Structure 1
Amino acid sequence: MSTAAAPILRRVLDGLYTAAGYLAAAFLVGIGVTIVVQIACRHLGITFDSTELAGFCLAAATFLGLAHTFRSGAHVRITLATDRLPLRARRFVEIANCLVGSAAIGFLAWHATALVLQSLDYHDVSPGLLAIPFWIPQAGFALGIVLFALALIDDLVSQVFGAAPSYAAGDADQHAE
Structure 2
Amino acid sequence: MERLNRALERVSHGLTWVALAFLGFMMVAIAVDVGARALIGSAVPGLFEMTEMSMVMVVFMGLGATLVDDGHIRVTLMTDALPLHLSRGLAALGWILAALTFLLLAWPATQEAAYSFSIREFRWGYFHVPVWWAKIATAFGLWFAALQALVHAAMIATGRIASDPRESASH
Please report the TM-score for the alignment, with normalisation by the length of structure 1: 0.80
Inter-CA distance 47–28: structure 2 relative to 1 (3 Å threshold): closer
Residue 68 of structure 2 is aligned to residue 60 of structure 1: no
Task: Report 1:166-177 matches (<5 A).
Answer: none
Give the Cα–Cα distance (whole angstroms) in 2 for the partners of residues 163 and 11 of structure 1: 13
Structure-1 residue corresponding to 2:12 = 17
Counterpart check, 1:29 vs 2:46? no
Please, which moves more after superposition, 45-54 or 76-85? Answer: 45-54
Percentage of identical aligned residues: 25
Deviation above 4 Å: which 4+ runs of structure 1?
Answer: 39-42, 44-47
Question: Which aligned pairs between 1:1-177 and structure 2 lie closer than 5 A?
Answer: 8-39=3-34, 41-42=36-37, 43=39, 47-165=44-162
Q: Contact 1:64 / 1:145 at 8 angstroms: preserved in 2? A: no
Residue type at the aligned position of 2:99: S
Shift of 1:9: 3.2
1:175 corresponds in structure 2 to none
C-alpha displacement of 1:150: 1.7
Structure 2 spans left out of the alignment, 5+ residues: none
After superposition, give the CA deviation of every residue in 1:21-63 in whole Å (9 maximum; x if it has no partner).
Answer: 2211111111112223434555467842422211211121012
How far is the alpha carbon of 1:68 from its aligned partner? 0.7
Task: Specify every segment of 5 or more residues in structure 1 that has no aligned partner in the other structure, as ranges.
Answer: 1-5, 173-177
Taking only aligned residues, the RMSD between alpha carbons, in angstroms, comes to: 2.3
* TM-score of the aligned structures, taking structure 2 as reference length: 0.83
